[in-house]
């Protein structure tokens, strides 16, 4: 419980239609939170890529061919300076972390299609986890800065 007393950041929880047009406003909200904490631009860019990749995957695959919603919880902490983003959807069960990493040593023509975005997110975050909770996919990313 003592850890929670140290939290001096903020949190927001948003319920968004899982449509590609919501990537940009979601990114802007996160960027505003990060800028208020003097987050380095490199980290902010890594988080922007994570948002784009994860939310886009929800849009493209979770409910296809229908649409649904996604809940995104963003929590910042000042000590240590960090952010946790949790993405939840009620789409088909899918663990992107279980997918085999692409062989990035192959030429573009030789590589299998897909998987590179999540691979980049996995490499740039400090922690990433997935769980299926009831009928929900819950993907969480954590980054210190």
Name the fold adopted by 2-144. Answer: Heat Shock Protein 90 (3.30.565)
Q: What is the residue whose two structure tokens read 């975050």? A: 125
The 10s digit of each residue's pLDDT in 11-45 is 999 999 999 999 999 999 999 999 999 999 999 99
Q: Nearest 5 degrees, angle CA 103-CA 86-CA 141?
A: 40
What is the 8-class DSSP label of residue 20? G
* Gap between the Cα atoms of 81 and 59, Å rounded: 30
Asked whether residue 106 carries a pLDDT value surpassing 70, the answer given is no
Place of tokens 């922007």: 48
Q: What is the pTM of this model?
A: 0.85
d(CA 145, CA 82): 6
Mean pLDDT of the region 105-131 = 76
- C-alpha to C-alpha distance for 144 and 52, rounded to whole angstroms: 19
């Amino acid at each position: 419980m003592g850890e929670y007393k140290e939290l001096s950041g903020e949190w927001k929880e948003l319920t968004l239609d899982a449509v590609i047009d919501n990537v940009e406003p979601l990114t802007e909200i996160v960027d505003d939170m990060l800028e208020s904490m003097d987050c380095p631009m490199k980290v902010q860019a890594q988080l922007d890529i994570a948002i784009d990749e994860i939310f886009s995957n929800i849009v493209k695959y979770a409910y296809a061919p229908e649409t649904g919603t996604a809940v995104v919880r963003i929590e910042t902490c000042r000590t240590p300076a960090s952010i946790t983003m949790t993405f939840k959807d009620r789409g088909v069960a899918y663990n992107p972390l279980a997918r085999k990493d692409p062989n990035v040593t192959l030429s573009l023509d030789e590589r299998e299609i897909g998987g590179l975005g999540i691979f980049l997110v996995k490499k740039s975050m400090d922690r990433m986890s997935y769980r299926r909770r009831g009928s929900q996919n819950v993907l969480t990313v954590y980054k210190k800065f």
